[in-house]
Structure 1
Amino acid sequence: MMKSVDQFLEFLSHSWWLIFVFGGSIGGALKAIAAANQRRAERRQERYRLKQQTKVEIARAKAQTRVDEQTQRRDIAKIVDEHDQTDARWFGYEMSLVTLLDFPMMTDMREPLTVEFHKAKRRADLLRPADPESMVGNHEAQVEYREAVHDYAIAFDVGEAEAKRRRRDGFTPREQERLARAQRLLRLAMDDAATAEERQSAYVRARKDLDGLIVLPSAPRAQLERRIAGQIGA
């Protein structure tokens, strides 16, 4: 375009007399050309401004996304930690048969609070992500898991408080005697200083006393049975 203008001006230098004939038209044309050039320059500047603004907005959005993801990771980690802490409190009962017999309600599935606790635990375990990173960006899954863990923790608190309050009060005097005797026998069955025969006999008698009262959790029961069997085998 600038070349065209130069050529036009060169033409005028050789045909200056035409200015008197076409002076008004030439002046208008030059003004139009200058205005067009100005508009093109302004459009280039506007396009450049918009591109820069877009880059800034994209960078800001990426930075915000990184912040949001970091916040989500912290929140998910807190939920998983609450889940782990509640599990640890429960395992303190589940893995200690002697302690469990002090608070038998913790495994008594006839008790509504115990049933509620185990249902809440099962749901929290089901929703727990195998990889917490997979939950980042999934708001619905995070909310569902958070609520399940909170329900689990609350149900455990309520059940534990009631179990500690009642201890063995839900059992008849005769049943309480059986529980106390079974507790003593289980201590003997877990005593490595006792003979294999003593431990085996104590465990069998404890199971007989507990029959019809409470069901021992399978994990610690199997662990104790393996220990006794190993000692007998030795």
Structure 2
Amino acid sequence: MTFITLGVAMYHIRFISTDLAVNIADSLNIILSSCLMISLAHVYEVNREKNEERLLELAGTDKLTGLANRMRLIETFRLYAESAKRNNSALAVVLFDIDFFKNINDKHGHPVGDASLQYVAKFIKDRIRKTDLFARFGGEEFALLVAGANQEHCFNHVNSIRQQLSNLPFVYGELTIPITFSSGISMFGIDGENFDELLSNADQRLYIAKDRGRNCVVAANYQTISEAAQVPLTSS
């Protein structure tokens, strides 16, 4: 409004008329034009900010599952790690791998494989806290950041999700497909200080879980015994 007032005053100083009606009409035109330009500029700015936020969201989101992608996972880890250092609190990196996912694709086709990934993504996401970040890491692998939970709590929670998933097969049309996962857990400050170190340790434990028959969870001091392994160990 300050600029509009200054604009009207300057116009009248430069183009003042003896006709009051003309002066009023000119003033109203200036005011209305200025308000319109300000409104359009405001709408443009709001839309620009929303579009930028949307693009950033899309850039950090996996298209198939709607989960965070690897890029967002790494960025969020940095924030969580700084908080864990500052508050001397726990932070876990958990890797999940769907057991025998290749068999699902080969036997039922990629549409069923994609639907099974979406099923697992939603299943796990519905069973974690809002403060945790669940991401699709690539292919049939997922990753989870668990902040503020010690190793025992994290292990028990992941193992509980594993048990629930193994008891609730994926239903796709007339198909009923048992799905399980293997998982490895690493802890910030114990297994490493950066994401690569923690990821490497979690990945090693994930493969220990696979070697022990799949459908189990492995952490440094905890492990479950495989309950599945109903399919021959012919695929990763």
TM-score of the superposition, structure 2-length normalised? 0.31
Larger % of helix: which? 1
Q: Which has the larger radius of gyration?
A: 1
Alignment TM-score, normalising by the size of structure 1? 0.32
Write 1 or 2 for the structure with the bigger share of strand.
2
